Chains A and B, each alone.
Chain A
């Protein structure tokens, strides 16, 4: 028995290790060699060339695909040429980035935040190349670091939830001014979402109560669902999802309970039509397009740039799936708030100075 306990302790510590590995995501998947994306047929020396080096594979229907859409748009509208270099294997990131820098690309876009060390090591070796680094900050004379003001997008989501929570004409809405928020792991960037969401809700109605919980994991949909159901049972009728794969459980809870949710990162409105009010988008596509355009016009600058509501880096969906269930007055109010944030009339707080370093 005693021996078994020892073994049990050993196993449990191994699980934690295992969870850590799994939590870091994609460690187990087979490494894919850098793969060519769609490339313009003929080599044209005059064409502006962009390399899109990413720390995972395309097909996530979210972050990386959004950046890819930006490249496609730049190809159609600006006539650029691009190549996608993708690998989920962290050992490949630096070599991939270096390989791209050694070739004749005019602009190298590195995404996402996990590429931090790769960008930090490679960029100084190629001082005359332009690097764009997405989702975190690396300092350097040839690096433009792009982050997204998720707090501003969440402000709008919180405002939307606070505006809708008393619309009892919709089935499942109660009259209580309580809304919910469920996150994945308890990390700084998620608190940045939460702080914006709370501020947005209180801006609309200071009496609004925001319930918030973390699942502690990005891959436990059953827990996400139970957390959401718990918030519904505590009077919430709209819950915002900021939890990646755990979040699929949040959205399902909205459907099963006949309540409402708000999606995140990509357009999730259509997953359970009628139960997802809107989704807060991170417009990686707009940021990529914008950076390419600046570089082509020789206006490109290094430094840290935050894409918020003003430069369309974040925002809500058009809510076409919900249609006229979202009253026009609510839509107008949101437009009004959006304008006020863009103009600086409303200042959205960051989580403990998370975001732009002044």
Chain B
């Protein structure tokens, strides 16, 4: 009982929200590319670029607003490069994604050394982080109020974005275009939508969100830049999108699930479970749930077959 209380308390949920936020932000971007039928594995690199530029601008200007803008712009720029090769010049989209990821790691290391003359990690009092705040009204609720307290401002922004993205995708013409290009590009083209143009725009939107996710990692969750600090979160985000069926709300639920699973696993280790096993749990869970999803889909489609027959 004591162990259960140790694992599943409000603090674990709060930590889960913190861990889920970068996955959610990147996922919200990546679902646009998924809806446009582009497999965007370059999110990792875009986040890393965002994280670095956020720290760079925060260090030199001391302004969190400029830092956020810089992270977003650089994220979009990285996405443009990805889109140029993957969409416009039609090279293999996987190769373009891997290229962005490798380039991101190497180039940020290079810049870290040449601008700051440090190896490995940069943390400095001059790096200004995102302010922390309580969410109005909700934070004063009894018991669950704790969940809406003391987060960095960008956490609330991320969750509000879920609804904005939902409105954008399902209630605006542009959202419809993105979905139609993903569903059937030729059909979309036949009614005068340029599929490549829409795909490119979807890639740029993913860059916007990845830049923001990077800024969250380097200025909210921590206040530092470390070589390769995204550490696979871009890929977890990709899994979260698949998991959530490409919808904003589904992606949010998946990101939260990952976040809580990780928060629990961080606490499991101290209870004496072997670290190798515990570190595996979020990934194991991903595989497990993907299996369930595809099984349900299979059963569903078989049922339909019988109905037709």
Contact = CB atoms under 8 A, between A and B. Distances in A.
Interface of A: 4-5, 7-8, 10-12, 14-15, 18-19, 22, 28-30, 57, 59-61, 180, 186, 211-214, 216-217, 219-223, 225-227, 229-231, 233-234, 244-246, 248-249, 252, 271
B223 interface: yes
B65 interface: no
B269 A214 contact: yes
8 contacts: A11-B238, A60-B119, A222-B19, A222-B231, A223-B266, A226-B263, A230-B267, A252-B224
Contact of A225 (B221, B231, B262): B221
B53 interface: no
Interface string B92-104: 0010011001100
A29 B108 CA distance: 10
A202 to B, nearest CB: 16
Interface in B234-284: 235, 238-239, 242, 262-263, 266-267, 269-270, 275-276, 279
Given A214-B279, A221-B121, A222-B217, A245 B226 contact: yes
B123 interface: yes
B270 A252 contact: no
B39 A219 contact: no
Given A219-B231, A221-B222, A230 B98 contact: no
Contacts of B120: 60, 219, 244-245
A352 to B, nearest CB: 15
B6 interface: yes
Contact of A29 (B110, B229, B294): B110
Interface centre among B97, B113, B118, B120, by most A CB within 10 Å? B120
A211 B276 contact: no
A300 B101 CA distance: 49
Interface string B11-27: 10001001100100000
Given A8-B39, A214-B269, 14 more contacts: A11-B41, A14-B98, A18-B102, A19-B231, A28-B102, A213-B266, A214-B279, A219-B231, A220-B226, A221-B222, A222-B19, A226-B266, A233-B15, A233-B267
Given A222-B221, A231-B270, A245-B120, A216 B275 contact: yes
Given A221-B229, A248-B224, A226 B123 contact: no
B292 interface: no
Contact of B222 (A30, A219, A231, A249): A249
A223 B278 CA distance: 13
Contact of A252 (B97, B102, B223): B223
Given A60-B120, A222-B217, A234-B6, A11 B94 contact: yes
Chain B interface category by residue count:
35 or more
B227 interface: yes
B222 A214 contact: no
Given A28-B106, A59-B119, A214-B275, A221 B18 contact: no
Closest 10 CB pairs of A and B: A213-B269, A28-B106, A211-B270, A214-B275, A220-B231, A216-B279, A245-B121, A245-B120, A230-B266, A248-B121
Interface of B: 6, 11, 15, 18-19, 22, 39, 41, 44, 94, 97-98, 101-102, 105-106, 109-110, 113, 117-121, 123, 217, 221-224, 226-229, 231-232, 235, 238-239, 242, 262-263, 266-267, 269-270, 275-276, 279, 290, 294
A234 B118 CA distance: 34
Contacts, number: 132
Contacts of B98: 11, 14, 18
Given A12-B235, A219-B227, A222-B229, A234 B275 contact: no
Contacts of A223: 231, 266
A227 B266 CA distance: 6
A186 B275 contact: yes
Contacts of B231: 19, 217, 219-220, 222-223
Given A8-B242, A28-B106, A216-B275, A22 B228 contact: yes
Contacts of B232: 15, 19
Interface centre among B106, B221, B226, by most A CB within 10 Å? B226
Nearest to A1: B297
B144 to A, nearest CB: 18
Given A18-B102, A57-B119, A213-B275, A249 B269 contact: no
Given A213-B270, A231-B270, A7 B94 contact: yes
Interface centre among B105, B110, B262, by most A CB within 10 Å? B105
A245 B270 contact: no
Given A19-B232, A28-B109, A221-B229, A249 B224 contact: yes
